[in-house]
């Protein structure tokens, strides 16, 4: 897949379904692939933050990638999260994902240990030189402790396989700087914060990688489709309508909120692996009430 076709539209930041023992539920994983494609999603992103890539072992990651790619069967592009702490392991997993048929990679910055901007540049440059498919940078400093500066992103954008960046910093000015510095390059800027998708599009970005697509896939898709059709009012209505569910994220780990909401909708995706799976009874009730309101008001 060419760089020009990467990171456009609404890409589902897919969860990884699990059973009560924390084992991967591959039957439901395939069901979620088909559910997202039926909703009109532009692509599937597996092994990201919502996919719990941080807690799966190497063999499990490969099995998830293989399952998603086979079930998608070229109907939509599949993005695979292959970022690891070390450059060597990132390259190893990325090459394996490429061999399994991934259309693109989504690569989070290394985490825990502090990295300089030059460290980050060299990390991604080594990956760029090691694979032959597009790479989507992934900036989420609140989780990793390492932020990709706009000037570093502009340097990386000049490399042949660096196709774009997913920004989950929550800082819209950061997105604007990415866009401003790469506007004349073959490079896409995509929002990793669901609340900023429409505004990113308006500023010159190309879409969003959406956690809310696990719960509200049709609504998320409609943000992009209405914007592309020139119907700003409907696009903004769709964007605004996800706010009640986004407000639920304050109730606990957002990954847990997304999985519990998906469970409440009748899809047995289980809960995140321990210890990141605590949720109070009151939180579950609030999520259920929010979903009830969504069905009564927003999905008319």
| pLDDT tens, position by position, 148-205 | 999 999 999 999 999 999 999 989 999 999 999 999 999 999 999 999 999 999 999 9
| pLDDT at position 287 | 95
CB atoms closer than 10 angstroms to residue 232: 12
Burial class of residue 172 in the structure, from the number of CB atoms within 10 Å of its CB (0-12 exposed, 13-18 middle, 19+ buried): middle
Which residue reads 């990113």 in tokens?
Answer: 200
- pTM for the structure as a whole: 0.94
Structure tokens at 21: 């023992």
pLDDT higher than 60, residue 104: yes
Residue 59 CB contacts under 8 Å (≥ 6 apart), including other chains:
none
Between 2 and 94, the more confident residue is 94
What is the mean predicted confidence (pLDDT) over 9-35?
97
Q: What positions carry a catalytic annotation?
A: 138, 166
Assigned token pair, 260: 């519990």
Give the pLDDT band of residue 295 (cuts 50, 70, 90): confident
pLDDT of residue 293: 87
Under the banding of pLDDT at 50, 70 and 90, the label for residue 270 is very high
The proportion of the chain whose per-residue pLDDT surpasses 90, expressed as a percent, equals: 94
Superfamily for domain range 3-230: Aldolase class I (3.20.20.70)
The Cα–Cα gap between 96 and 259 comes to 28
Buried b (16+ CB within 10 A) or exposed e, 86-114: ebeebbebbbbbbebbbbbbbbbbbbeee
Residue 6 predicted with pLDDT over 70: yes
Average pLDDT score, the chain: 95
Q: Is the pLDDT of residue 2 over 60?
A: no
- Is 1's pLDDT higher than 70? no
Q: What is the pLDDT of residue 298?
A: 56
């Amino acid at each position: 897949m060419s760089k020009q076709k990467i990171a456009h539209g609404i890409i589902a930041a897919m969860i990884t379904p699990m059973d009560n023992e924390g084992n991967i539920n591959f039957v439901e994983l395939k069901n979620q692939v088909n559910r997202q494609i039926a909703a009109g999603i532009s692509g599937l992103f597996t092994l990201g933050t919502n996919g719990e890539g941080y807690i799966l072992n190497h063999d499990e990651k490969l099995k998830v990638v293989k399952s998603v790619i086979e079930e998608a069967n070229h109907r939509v592009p599949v993005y695979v999260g292959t970022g690891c702490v070390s450059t060597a392991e990132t390259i190893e997993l990325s090459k394996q994902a490429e061999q399994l048929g991934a259309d693109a990679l989504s690569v989070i910055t290394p985490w825990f240990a502090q990295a300089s901007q030059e460290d980050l540049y060299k990390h991604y440059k080594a990956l760029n030189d090691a694979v032959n498919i597009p790479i989507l940078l992934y900036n989420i400093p609140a989780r990793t402790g390492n932020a990709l500066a706009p000037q570093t992103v502009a340097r990386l954008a000049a490399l042949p396989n660096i196709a774009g960046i997913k920004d989950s910093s929550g800082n819209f000015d950061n997105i604007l700087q990415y866009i401003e510095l790469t506007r004349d390059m073959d490079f896409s800027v995509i929002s990793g914060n669901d609340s900023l998708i429409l505004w990113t599009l308006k500023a010159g970005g190309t879409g969003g990688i959406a956690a809310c697509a696990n719960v509200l896939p049709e609504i998320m898709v409609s943000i992009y489709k209405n914007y592309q059709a020139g119907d700003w009012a409907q696009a903004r209505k769709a964007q605004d309508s996800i706010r009640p569910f986004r407000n639920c994220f304050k109730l606990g780990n957002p990954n847990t909120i997304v999985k519990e909401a998906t469970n409440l909708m009748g899809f047995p995706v289980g809960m995140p692996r321990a210890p990141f799976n605590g949720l109070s009874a009151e939180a579950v009730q609030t999520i259920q009430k929010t979903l009830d309101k969504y069905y009564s008001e927003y999905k008319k």
